[in-house]
Structure 1
């Protein structure tokens, strides 16, 4: 019998590991068993479901694009910043990771709402942000950006500094180094962060409800539709929940499947 690899967990760890697996697996299995599978096509093609799915997908894509455009430069800056206080700034940027989403939604409302910090300026421009599809995108971006920032910053910190320094010595400017060396090297981390940001945007609920409300076809995304359908049509809520679970499994596989390999014997 082959010896266990160095650092392998003790045998007693198998039981709590199995219990932890069951804690996640059993609720998912309960949903799968509860659904009337014959009704699944009808439930996912109803007008309310299609509108919620369409809204969720395009707002999640818009939020992911916004996260990339703003989050990548932010992650690069955080990875190279060396001044005192950068840790506090990083903590604030990553705050949505631990902040209850509904609190984030209220913060956005008091920033972009009519009575908010910037509400007067938007009123002068004739732009309404709160309770619109734009509010959905902003709420999703708020909660999803930390996932991309962490992924990209970690990838940047793992780069070989000698390669970057050599490029600078050869006369490459900062933009050239970023375009031809940094971005290709951190691309796996960037893709993983973008995929996770998309998944987080797709599943966002609390911030969206507080900041955008729930108007069918305008701000009612799939999680909000699930919340509303759970009382009137539980089967529809279960069907949409299983759809989100399927998307989450695919996203996790795309984000981490290529980077995790079984330990060699």
Structure 2
């Protein structure tokens, strides 16, 4: 008989991590996309390449780098532990950080493409009328790129929801504390609990399907 409490905990934690990381990476990716699409500076290509690195690096490499940066022996990790009186590794916040890092390239590129598709004449007209850069962003760029922004938000949530390698390295796989759906599936398969693994797989497939369906539906309605 299935223990519904143990079954639901990874699902709820994944939704919690995915939701919070989606908001954080949406803000970070949006600011980075706006800055990179509106500014020209030396080394811009190198900076953008660094932004996109987590997209091509193995998740375990990303997780290892984060572990070295935020671990208890690192300066950043010790500072975090001093401020919050506990380390960040092997907590659900570590899962949020891992999800933000791996989702950032996808969100950034989607939002940058949305900003790039805007006719620059609109922005130039606003600036010539005395609008500040903030007003151009608030009243022109964000509304015109709204479809891309919504897509970026949903894709960021979906990417964070399905993150495995970096999360396992940084947050671990502690049942009831840091165990997400992907890590729970991994353990279930390792221990031969195939029915439980299928149940979790079904949940994440349904959630991902609904997210993508909503994205496509919103895109279609916007294009009409």
Whether TM-score is above 0.5 comes out as yes
- Tell me the TM-score normalized by structure 2: 0.92
* CA offset digits 1:47-82 (Å, max 9, x no partner): 222110110001110100101121100111111232
CA RMSD of the aligned region, Å?
1.7
Matches within 5 A, 1:97-246: 97-125=55-83, 126-230=85-189, 231-246=191-206
Q: Which moved more, 1:228-237 or 1:148-157?
A: 228-237
Distance 2:75 2:210 in 1: 39
Long gaps (5+) in structure 1: 1-41
Say which of 96, 106, 109 aligns to 2:54: 96
- Tell me the TM-score normalized by structure 1: 0.78
Larger Rg: 1
Q: Which residue of 2 aligns with 1:250?
A: 210
3-state DSSP class of the match of 1:94?
helix
3-state DSSP class of the match of 2:144?
helix
User: Is the CA contact (8 Å cut-off) linking 1:60 and 1:198 kept in structure 2?
Assistant: yes
Distance 2:18 2:70 in 1: 20
Q: More helix per residue: 1 or 2? A: 2
Long gaps (5+) in structure 2: none
Distance 1:116 1:180 in 2: 43
